[in-house]
Copies of this chain bind each other. A is one copy, B any other.
């Protein structure tokens, strides 16, 4: 009886493989490359303890009362300055605080998507982005990526085709820096080109940017938002990866008219984001604690990323390919097409090692791919985990070779 009563939105909602799967990986003996969680070794708890203790004396109302739907004013002012470092030039009227960047994804989808509206995403793309779009019945069109990010030739082809059919695109959603799950970034030239396409074909760009401050190699790329002169870009920021996730503080940057609509949507969604987290971010930000944390994290994750690259080279067979990220949390592994990453995962879990299989990140692709996250395991665990995975893959390759030879005979 209940099932029939759910809304069409609800009927579309799917169990996210990635999140369901976490339950399996919670056994303490597992070396998990699955979750996109920050490292537990580097949580700034001592600093937060000192700051929150002080704020609960000096600013108890700002910590404990409701706050404005759009977010605390001093936090938005801090974000203005934080964004200026990235050459993103905005005022507080362009900023709304969200409960993590995920809420930004939800609210942007809520105010733009009617059922059936076209939304373009990368293939593969972030699970939570796909989920937010699906929850409003957006019609997702996936465009392939290569080592320089989204394939703009394929994008323009698709845009032309849609235009011919009289259809338009509401927005394109992407993680331009250290993409989740590929770890790759959109080339600078493509960022400029994408903005031109946005103007020509009249769509918005939803730039989700949790990772760009976590660069370990190579040269910084300008955020798409920093190149945007005509308000084509809605930018999502988050303190989850560069500071702490448990306080759920993110932000949206957009044209004032969009921010006003987002505030209206947020009012009926959760009234306001948690005040304690907002005030903590502002104070830790202004006192340099966040900048220090970013420096520490860069160092820590760089060593983990390097260990993962080294181990992959050492223990994975030559038939397997993987991306070499310059930052972020992830590398994307591609197996020979005849191997299935989901089947392999069950074997991996038997050996107490875990990853997320590729199908989670797109509609019907990625069967032979998987995402490895290097943010959580220690250096030793990374080496040991990759060694175990390598052994499993080699065994699979061998047994399929044997099967093939038998077939040939």
Q: A residues within 8 Å of B by Cβ?
A: 1-3, 5-10, 13-16, 19, 37-38, 40, 43, 45-46, 48-49, 52-53, 56-57, 60-61, 63-67, 69, 99-100, 102-103, 105-106, 110-114, 117, 128, 131-132, 134-136, 170, 202, 204, 240, 244-248, 255, 257-258, 261, 264-265, 267-277
Q: Is B43's CB under 8 angstroms from A111's CB? A: no
Q: Is B38's CB under 8 angstroms from A246's CB? A: no
CB distance from A23 to the nearest CB of B (A): 9
Q: Is B37's CB under 8 angstroms from A64's CB? A: no
Given A40-B65, A246-B274, A257–B2 Cβ distance below 8 Å?
Answer: yes
Q: Is A274's CB under 8 angstroms from B271's CB? A: no
Shortest 5 CB-CB contacts between residues of A and residues of B: A246-B275, A131-B268, A10-B111, A45-B60, A49-B56
Q: Is B268's CB under 8 angstroms from A248's CB? A: no
Q: Is A132's CB under 8 angstroms from B268's CB? A: yes
Tell me the interface secondary structure of chain A in the complex: helix
Q: Is B43's CB under 8 angstroms from A112's CB? A: no
Residue in B43, B48, B134, B276 whose beta carbon sits within 8 Å of that of A246 in the complex? B276
Most buried by B among A103, A247, A269: A269
In the complex, A46→B19 CA distance in Å? Answer: 37
Instruction: Name 28 A/B residue pairs within 8 A (Cβ), A-sorted.
Output: A2-B257, A2-B258, A5-B170, A5-B204, A7-B111, A10-B112, A13-B111, A38-B65, A40-B61, A43-B60, A45-B63, A64-B245, A65-B244, A66-B240, A66-B245, A66-B246, A99-B99, A99-B248, A99-B270, A102-B268, A102-B271, A106-B270, A128-B271, A135-B269, A246-B274, A248-B271, A248-B274, A274-B274
10 more CB-based (< 8 A) A-B contacts, given A10-B264, A13-B264, A64-B245: A2-B258, A5-B112, A9-B110, A19-B69, A40-B61, A43-B61, A45-B64, A63-B246, A64-B247, A99-B274
Contacts of A257 in B (CB 8 A): 2-3
Contacts of A274 in B (CB 8 A): 99, 246-248, 274, 276-277
Residue in B7, B60, B270, B277 whose beta carbon sits within 8 Å of that of A112 in the complex? B7
Q: Is A267's CB under 8 angstroms from B112's CB? A: no
